[in-house]
Chains A and B, each alone.
Chain A
Amino acid sequence: MREAAVVSEPNPLQRIPGVAIVLVLLIALFSAIAPGFLSVANLSNVLVQSTILTMLALPMTLIIMTEGLDLSMGAVLTLTSLCVAIVSLATKSMLLGLGAGLLVGAAFGTVNGWLVAILGIPPFVATLGTLGMAQGLSLIVSDGQSVVGIPHSVRDIYSATLLGVPLPIVMALVTYAVFHGLLYHTRFGTYIFALGGNREALRYAGLSPNRLLIAVYAIGGAMAGIAGLLMTARMNSGHPTAGLGLEFDAIAAVAVGGTSFERGNGWLLGTLLGVIAVGVLRNGLNLISMPSSVQVASVGVLVIVALFLDGLRSRA
């Protein structure tokens, strides 16, 4: 009820077709042309590989709902992944590595939020600036080299299973549950809807939109920290260009998932389906031996088509 009072709840019936149709079409297409696509091993592979993207796309949904954008997420993920690698290498402790990644990620997120909320710099330029900063810091702390020899405790995060389910998938599902609860069942979530839909209302309610906005960006940075742990575990090393461009896949997942860039309403389940759609697209193209360059271009086309359809719907 409270959500409905602030903004109209997105109508899922209107939305499900868009992203679900995209997903079904992609799965049908690759089942037909890509040998081995429908095998259990491959599908579980798609899901495991989508976990890092899930960690980025969920907070990206919140940020885009505030009519914002975070272009720095991929570069920050690269930096946190290096921090995890360097700290866990030095201390032999996975938890200290994760702590370092979280800290650096949250710090970058807070800076993003501060630039956007307090200084009022347009989000895409503010985060383009911090993209450069995070990319530079990644090169500086690693001296342009890979960080190798990280402890088993980090590597195991990616390969371990819990009750037969790969640990990264468990982490992604828990993250989704937390974000779902946060957005749809807490006051904070209601405020996020208001940040995009009606910022004045927040002010009249005696709340500080600026602090909320900073919190949203900080959450994005912290999630890049957790994703950094997964990235380091997956590659079994830290690499100064590992995550560059991942923010684009995240934005693609959010756009395909039906979250609007201009009207401040978002749909988390759509984002999750969008993540899987991007994962299926990349995996399927990979199976028919398309180079990663073609995958990148395809994701770009996917975004433009999704935004075009979004524009059509908003005018309809």
Chain B
Amino acid sequence: MTDISKEAIVPPRSFLSQDAIQVFYRLLAALLICAVLAVLSDSFLSLGNILNVLRQASLTFFIASGLTLVVLTAGLDLSVGANVALSACIAGTVIHKTGSPALGILTGLACGGIVGLLNGVMVTALRIPSFIATYGMLWVLNGLTYWYMAGETLHGFPAGFRQIGSGYLFGLPIPVYLLLVFLGIGTLFAQRTIWGQEIYAIGANPVAARLSGIPVARRLLLVYAVSGTMAGLASIIFLSRLNSAEADIGESLTLPAIAAVLIGGTSLFGGVGTVFGTFIGALILTLVLNGMNLLSVSANWQPLVTGIIVILAVWLDMKTRRRAQ
């Protein structure tokens, strides 16, 4: 048994299979929830609802996938929700001012990426613990966004731009295609590139990683920048789907994103987890919230349930790892 847990950290091959088992359990859990919901609610299995679940899950996944990389390094990014809000508001303004969706998209991605990079600088150069640095950033971004918007709402964007979030291609919502693309890129990057493997190594043992010549600070900068850029991407999807932007749109996004990462089996202590697991995590969380919605539970219950899920997910993760040792 001890050999397995050691191998889980070192050679890539064997931890993939370990992770495959973990992902399999989570897929089973997702199917189980689907079965329960199908019994409890007539409308759950309707095509409209399933597409809705997928679209909602994809939004959570975009934020959570970048966050997964951060958590793999044993860090945390609490600023993602606030980053989505700021990026959406700035991208929305650019589209309004210039009339060019492409320019708006680029600005949104850049804004998210720059915020992520600043997080990375605070964590690496200033050596502030990541959860505090990004928590400070959360409030800085919140303040900036509310100040910038001054209570205004941006709405009414070009029809072409709105297709990104609300359009369909061959019967599937466009965000679902984006989800598949980023799921593929994220998985390939984490499992099949040197940089990805170095990120796992940093999370498993930062000292060993540094001693073996991995440029730890540069890789950390990268993961925080990626997390920020993915928040920027989510802001574009959000903007085009809602067809509006307000300063408060990010407030309910951070906790679900963290929940998706943790349900997906990525360990808070770093070095263990997969981007695919996070996708399943986003799916499970969305199914639960969707189910509550279908069973006419008030939306007021959502933060309570999400909070409980976060704690349960961490507790389960710690329990299974303790048993593995």
Asked whether any CB of chain A lies closer than 8 Å to the CB of B306, the reply is: yes
B124-137 interface bits toward A, Cβ cutoff 8 Å, 1 = contact, 0 = none? 00111101110111
CA distance A115 to B308 in the complex (A): 12
Asked whether any CB of chain B lies closer than 8 Å to the CB of A294, the reply is: yes
Interface 9-mer from B88-96, B164-172, B207-215, B295-303: B295-303
Asked whether, in the complex, the Cβ of B147 is within 8 Å of the Cβ of A294, the reply is yes
Q: Which residues of B contact A134 (CB under 8 A)?
A: 307
Asked whether, in the complex, the Cβ of B146 is within 8 Å of the Cβ of A291, the reply is yes
Residues of A within 8 A of B (CB): 69, 71, 115, 119-122, 124-126, 128-137, 139-140, 143-144, 245, 248, 251, 255, 261-262, 291-301, 303-304, 307-308, 311, 315
Residues 226-260 of B contacting A (Cβ, < 8 Å): 247, 255, 258
B275-306 interface bits toward A, Cβ cutoff 8 Å, 1 = contact, 0 = none? 00000000000000000000000101111111
Minimum CB–CB distance from A3 to chain B (whole Å) comes to 26
CA distance A134 to B304 in the complex (A): 7
- Using CB atoms, name the residue of chain A closest to B137: A300
A307 CB contact (under 8 Å) in B128, B268, B305, B311: B128
CA distance A210 to B283 in the complex (A): 36
Asked whether any CB of chain A lies closer than 8 Å to the CB of B24, the reply is: no
Asked whether, in the complex, the Cβ of A125 is within 8 Å of the Cβ of B310, the reply is yes
Asked whether, in the complex, the Cβ of A132 is within 8 Å of the Cβ of B144, the reply is no
CA distance A258 to B266 in the complex (A): 34
Asked whether, in the complex, the Cβ of B305 is within 8 Å of the Cβ of A136, the reply is yes
Q: Which residues of A contact B129 (CB under 8 A)?
A: 261-262
**Known contacts A291-B147, A297-B140, A300-B139; A126 and B311 CB within 8 A of each other:** yes
Residues of B within 8 A of A (CB): 76, 78, 122, 126-129, 131-133, 135-147, 150, 247, 255, 258, 262, 268, 298, 300-308, 310-311, 314-315, 318
**Known contacts A121-B311, A128-B255, A132-B306; A69 and B301 CB within 8 A of each other:** no
User: Can you name 22 A-B residue pairings with CB atoms under 8 Å?
Assistant: A124-B131, A125-B314, A128-B307, A129-B311, A129-B314, A130-B307, A132-B303, A135-B303, A135-B307, A136-B300, A143-B300, A251-B132, A292-B146, A293-B146, A297-B143, A297-B144, A300-B137, A303-B132, A303-B136, A304-B122, A304-B128, A315-B127
Asked whether, in the complex, the Cβ of A136 is within 8 Å of the Cβ of B303, the reply is yes
B150 CB contact (under 8 Å) in A69, A71, A291: A291
Asked whether, in the complex, the Cβ of A136 is within 8 Å of the Cβ of B126, the reply is no
Q: Which residues of A contact B307 (CB under 8 A)?
A: 128-136
Q: Which residues of A contact B150 (CB under 8 A)?
A: 291
Asked whether, in the complex, the Cβ of A293 is within 8 Å of the Cβ of B140, the reply is no
Asked whether, in the complex, the Cβ of B135 is within 8 Å of the Cβ of A71, the reply is yes
Q: Which residues of B contact A300 (CB under 8 A)?
A: 136-140, 142-143
B298 CB contact (under 8 Å) in A132, A140, A297, A307: A140
- Using CB atoms, name the residue of chain B closest to A304: B136
Asked whether, in the complex, the Cβ of A119 is within 8 Å of the Cβ of B318, the reply is yes
Closest 8 CB pairs of A and B: A136-B304, A297-B143, A132-B307, A293-B146, A300-B140, A139-B300, A296-B143, A300-B139
- Using CB atoms, name the residue of chain A closest to B138: A300
Minimum CB–CB distance from A227 to chain B (whole Å) comes to 19
Asked whether, in the complex, the Cβ of B143 is within 8 Å of the Cβ of A293, the reply is yes
Q: Which residues of A contact B147 (CB under 8 A)?
A: 291, 293-294, 297
Known contacts A248-B135, A261-B132, then 6 further A-B pairs from the complex at CB < 8 Å, ordered by chain A residue: A120-B318, A132-B310, A133-B304, A140-B300, A307-B136, A311-B128
Q: Which residues of B contact A135 (CB under 8 A)?
A: 303-304, 307
Minimum CB–CB distance from A219 to chain B (whole Å) comes to 21
Minimum CB–CB distance from A79 to chain B (whole Å) comes to 11
Minimum CB–CB distance from A57 to chain B (whole Å) comes to 15
